A and B are shown apart, each in its own frame.
Chain A
Amino acid sequence: MPWTKVLIDDEDLKTALRKDGLRVTTYVNALNEAHRQLLDADPAVYVIGEGVDDPGGVFGSTRGLLAAYGPDRIMDIPIAENGLTGIALGSALCGMKPIFVHMRQDFLPMCMDQIVNHAAKWHYMTGGKCSAPLVIRALAGRGWGSAAQHSQTLHGIFTAFAGLKVAVPATPYDAKGLLIAAVRDGNPVLFCEHRWLYGFEGYAPDGMYEVPFGKAVVRKPGTQVTIVAVSLMVYEAMKAARELERLGVSAEVVDPRTIKPLDRAAIAESVRKTGRLLVADTGGVHSGISAEITAGACEDAFSFMKAPPARIGLPDCPTPAGAELEKAFYPGAADIVACALRLVR
C-alpha cells in the first residue's frame, strides 16, 4: 500500500496500520534492524565509531550488535575522528563497507579532511577505478541545554561536495530503507539523523528494502502552498498542514528524503501546482539547504509562483543552552503556519 510508506507519525496512521496487520516500529528500531540485516547479508559490512559497542548503543541504534557480531565487526574506536575516517575509507577502497557512526554531527568538522578531500573525490580522482562505499551516520542533538557544540545540524554544508551523497530520513520506513540503500550504493554517503525522531513510530517492513536516493515523496497532497520539509521538520510541517486545513488553507508537504541528490523535479512539480513555496529545514537558513531548494525551485518554476518563496530554519547564531533561549531558537509548526498564512493571504 503506497500510503503506508508516505504517511507519517500520526495516531490515525498507527491505528490504520495496526488494523491492517502492518508492522509499526520506531525510527531507532528500524535503524537497528537495518544494521542487523546489512551485517547478516554482507560480510564486508562493519560498524565503527565511538561507543557503537556501549550498552546504550548510540541511543539504541546499535544496541545488541556487539553481542551478535563481535568486536571485529562492531568496533569501538579511540577519539580520533579524522584518522579513523581515513582508516574506514581505506578499508572501503579495499572492498569493505564500513558504517561509521558519530553520536553528534558536531564531530563531523573534525573529519572534514578525510570526508571532503578524500572520500568524496576518490572515485573521480581515480577515473572511476576505486569506489569509496563509506557510510557515515551522524546524529543531530537538540534540547536539554546541548548548546553550541552538541546540537548542530550540518547536513546542508555537505551537499556542496561533489561525490558525496546526503540522506536526511524522517520516518522509520525511510531510515531503514535509506540506510540499506546507502550501504549498497557504492558511494560515500553522509546519513544525517535527528535524535528527536528516534522514538517516532511508523510503518517499516520486516525484510530488507531500499528507498531510492533522489526521490522525494509527497507526505500530504495540497493545492495552495508547497511545504518542502527536511528531517524533523517533516513532522512539524505535517502538524502545520493539519492546522492550516482547519484554517481553510490546503498545504502540500514534500519530503526530499535525500538532499544530495535532490529531487528538484518533484519540488518544481509541486510548486507549479500550488504556486507557493515554503522550505522548512532543521539547519540554518543562511547558506543552508533551504537556500539551494529555494533557488532550484525559482529556476525551475518561477513563472508559476504567486508569492515570493519563504524559508524557515535556524537563526544565524550558535545554539544557546538555556531553555528559554532554546525555545526561541528552534522554529516549529506554529512558525510554519504563520508563514504559510502570509504566503496565501
Chain B
Amino acid sequence: MEQLSTQTQIDLLAAMLAIRAFENRISSVYPQQEMKTPVHLYTGQEACAAGVCANLEREDMIFSTHRNHGHYIAKGADLNAIAAELYGRTGGCTKGKGGSMHFVDTASGCMGTTAIVGGSIPLGAGAALALKMRKSSNISVSFFGDGAADEGVLQETLNFAALKKLPVLFVCENNFYATNSCVRARHAHGSIAARAQAFGIPAETADGNDAETVYRAARKAAAHIRAGNGPYFLELLTYRWKGHVGPDCDYEKGCRPKAELDEWMKRCPIELYAARLAARGVISQAGLDEMKKAAEARVDRAWSYALASPAPGPEDLLTDVYRAAGESA
C-alpha cells in the first residue's frame, strides 16, 4: 500500500491532538460551571474527523450533530470562536446563541450542527444538491452517529441522494451508543453500511480508530464523489470515552461495562498513530511532545480569547431571530 506523504501523516496526528487538547480542556474546566452548555465530547473518536476532513477542501461543506467539536476542529474552524461559544460570549461563533451543540463557521465550510438526532443527514444532502445545481466541484459531508441510523430521515435521504447522484459523503460514526442504549439493543442487523448499499450507494465499514484507514477510505469516497458518481457511505467503527453528555465517563453509573471502555482505550487513536509514526521514523518522542505542546498552546490562546470576550446583554436576545431585509445571507 502506498505510503502517505510525511506531511499528511503529521497533519493527521496534529488534527487529532488538537481535538484531544480541546476536549480535555473542556473536561478540566467544566466542573467550574462557567461553561453553561451541554457538551458532547468527541474524545476517543478523533481519527474519524481527522481522517475524513483531511480529504476535504476548505470550500467543501460539512454538517454535524451535537457531537460536533471534532469535525469542526479538523475542518479548520476558528478555535477562538468555538471556545468563546462554549462560554456564550459575543466573540463566540454564534454570539452566544447556539452553544456547544450549534457551532458554525461558514468560512471553513462548517455549515451548522443540529441537536436533533438525524437532522443533519438531509441538510448535508441538501448542500450537495445546491453544489450540484451550481455545477460546483465541491462536495458535502453529513456526519452522524449510529443512533441517527434509527431515524427514518436516513432512509429518505439515502434514497434521494442516490436518485439524484448528489455529491454527498455520509459518515456514520458508529460508537455503539445512542445516549446510553447499546447498538445491540437497537439493531437487528449488524451493518449500518448495508442500509446504504440497499439504495445502491457504495458503502464501506472501516476501523474508525485508525486514522490512516479512515483517511484512505475517505480519500476513495471523495474521489468517487468528485468524479460525479454520486453519494458514498462510510460507517466508521469507533468508541466514545466520555458519557453521552458531560465531561465524565458513565461506566460508574452502570451505563456500560468498564472492561469494554478499557479495551477501546487501549486502542486510543492518537497513541496508535503516534506509535506507528515513531516506528516509521516520521516523528521522534521529542517531536511528539512538541506537537502536543503546540496543540495545548493553541487551546490556551483560544481560552484566553474566549474568557476575554464580553457576555451578550439582554439587548441581544431578540436579534438574529429573522434575517433582516437587505442583510446578506
Contacts and interface: CB of A to CB of B under 8 A. Distances in A.
Given A78-B159, A114-B119, A117-B114, A95 B97 contact: no
Contact of A125 (B112, B134, B157): B112
A90 B125 contact: yes
Contact of B320 (A46, A86, A128): A128
B116 A129 contact: no
Q: Which of B111, B159, B163, B322 has the most CB of A within 10 A?
A: B322
B329 interface: yes
B63 A127 contact: no
Interface string A217-246: 000000000000000000000000000000
A72 interface: yes
A130 B126 CA distance: 14
Nearest to A94: B130
B97 A82 contact: no
A17 to B, nearest CB: 31
Interface in A84-104: 84-96
A96 B327 CA distance: 16
B157 A187 contact: no
B96 A83 contact: no
B119 A163 contact: no
Nearest to A95: B130
Given A83-B157, A87-B129, A123 B321 contact: yes
Interface in B107-123: 111-112, 114, 116, 119, 121-123
Interface string A110-133: 000110011000111111111101
B112 A122 contact: yes
Contacts of A276: none
A341 interface: no
Nearest to B126: A90
A130 B109 CA distance: 12
Contacts of B140: 90, 94
Interface stretch (B50-58, B98-106, B260-268, B283-291): B98-106
B106 A129 contact: yes
Contacts of A125: 94, 97-98, 102, 104, 112
B104 A129 contact: yes
Contacts of B133: 46, 72, 91, 96
Contacts of A94: 61, 111, 126-127, 130-131, 140
Contacts of A82: 122, 152-153, 156
Contact of B123 (A46, A93, A131): A93
A334 interface: no
A339 interface: no
Interface string A143-168: 00000000000000000001101000
Q: Which of A85, A126, A128 has the most CB of B within 10 A?
A: A126
A186 interface: yes
A133 B329 contact: yes
A46 B202 CA distance: 29
Given A89-B123, A186-B323, A118 B116 contact: yes
Q: Which of A123, A127, A128, A133 has the most CB of B within 10 A?
A: A127
Given A77-B160, A86-B157, A124-B320, A186 B126 contact: no
B93 interface: yes
B122 A87 contact: yes
A93 B156 contact: no
Contacts of B129: 87, 90-91, 96
A126 B122 CA distance: 18
B126 A93 contact: yes
A162 B321 CA distance: 7
B147 interface: no
Contact of B322 (A95, A113, A118, A165): A165
Contacts of B325: 185-186
A80 interface: yes
A88 B95 CA distance: 26
Interface in B294-329: 319-323, 325, 327, 329
Contact of B122 (A78, A89, A117): A89
Contacts of A133: 323, 329
A118 B123 contact: yes
Interface string B123-154: 11111111101100000100000000000110
A283 B227 CA distance: 50
Contact of B95 (A113, A114, A127): A127
Contacts of B127: 90-91, 93-94
Contacts of B44: none
22 contacts: A83-B153, A83-B155, A83-B157, A83-B159, A86-B122, A86-B157, A87-B122, A87-B157, A90-B122, A90-B128, A93-B126, A95-B329, A96-B133, A113-B119, A117-B114, A126-B97, A126-B104, A128-B319, A130-B329, A163-B321, A186-B325, A186-B327
Given A90-B124, A95-B134, A130-B111, 7 more contacts: A46-B133, A80-B160, A89-B122, A92-B126, A124-B321, A127-B104, A129-B106
Interface of B: 61, 63, 92-98, 102, 104, 106, 111-112, 114, 116, 119, 121-131, 133-134, 140, 152-153, 155-157, 159-160, 163, 319-323, 325, 327, 329
Interface of A: 46, 72, 77-78, 80, 82-96, 113-114, 117-118, 122-131, 133, 162-163, 165, 185-187
